[in-house]
Amino acid sequence: MTLPAQASKIAEDIRSMRVRGARLIARSAVEALQIVARNSSAGDITTFVAELASAARFLLQTRPTAVSLPNGIRFVMHRVNRDKESGVSLETIRATAVKAAQEFIDNTDTAIQRIGEIGARRIRDGDVLLTHCNSSAVISIMKTAWNQGTKFEVYVTETRPRFQGRITAKALAGIGIPVTLILDDAVRYFMHDVDKVLVGADAVTANGALVNKIGTSLLALAAHEANVRVFAAAETYKFSPETMIGELVTVEERDPSEVISSHELRPLGAVRVRNPSFDVTPPEFIDLIITEQGIIPPLGAMLILEDILGVITPEELQEYQTKTLQEQD
């Protein structure tokens, strides 16, 4: 299947990281699926659903670690497949796909706002915060607290090799928050000046472990050593249902040229370069997770996942996994 040009561009933007952050990745992927639904020329339901399923598989391959992406795709496809089973008309099932996609997109905005309101209560006057990478949820918390009159300052890591921390620093400084940009390697050096660590998440597993930008686990380890509390901010669509049935979250490795150019590497000789984008922080290094549904301890992740599975049953999840594996073979 050939995606519509606009949807194809979105997929490439996700793959190349022109679209960054789990929230924007999920929104963009669902928007691409919505475009496919609107532009489909299928003359029957079977062909229409097959086109959506093919587009979904293509989008799922763009960023394997971003759990928000398959959760967003699943949100739409579950409703489409449910309509297919009920025998509705083609136009009804098309409307369902478009409406479900828009509902997911709208929910991402509501979730960020709600997380900002809930998380802002955890920031106190005079706090020194430390964050890593670029998270819409984290920025929402800090902006909400600042706009409510709470005064604090923030250390932001550069977040190499793509320097997403600079995006965070610019956003926070733009509303007047005092920001200090530091090297990733310097987190332990500055940790004793820090009151709280606040990070986002690309995925949360069933046992409450955090999958986030590479370096997060070392930051959490340094915080644990210094007895500094670590807060994670994550929308519930970043929780991974697959981890309930034994699946592991794929940790993406990106092009080594992001770390060092081929021109710079050549004089070093036969040197291998690896560039993992994410790492896993154990739940024992996380004090709490701030979601749009409220604050939970890491072990409370299972409750969130059970709520997600109120829409998608474990049997449907297992069937989805089996079909996916068969299609990859």
Which residues are catalytically annotated? 133, 202
Sheet holding 210-213, edge to edge: 203-204, 210-213, 278-281
Q: How many CB atoms lie within 10 A of CB 190?
A: 17
For 221-233, b/e burial (b = at least 16 CB within 10 A) is bbbbeeebebbbb
Query: Identity (one letter) of the amino acid at 142?
Result: M
Contacts (Cβ under 8 Å, ≥6 apart) of 208:
283, 286, 289, 297, 298, 299, 300, 301
Peptide bond into 161 cis (omega under 30): yes
How far is the CA of 195 from the CAs of 88, 169, 326, in angstroms?
56, 18, 48
Question: What does the alpha-carbon distance between residue 133 and residue 232 come to, in Å, rounded to a whole number?
Answer: 13
Q: Give me the sign of the Cα torsion angle 239, 242, 244, 250.
A: negative
Nearest-angstrom CA–CA distance, 59 and 61: 5
Q: Tell me the three state secondary structure of residue 193.
A: helix
Is-contact 168 134, C-beta < 8 A? yes
The helix-helix angle for 45-60 and 314-328 (nearest 10°) equals 80
Q: For residues 233 and 212, is the Cβ–Cβ distance under 8 A?
A: no
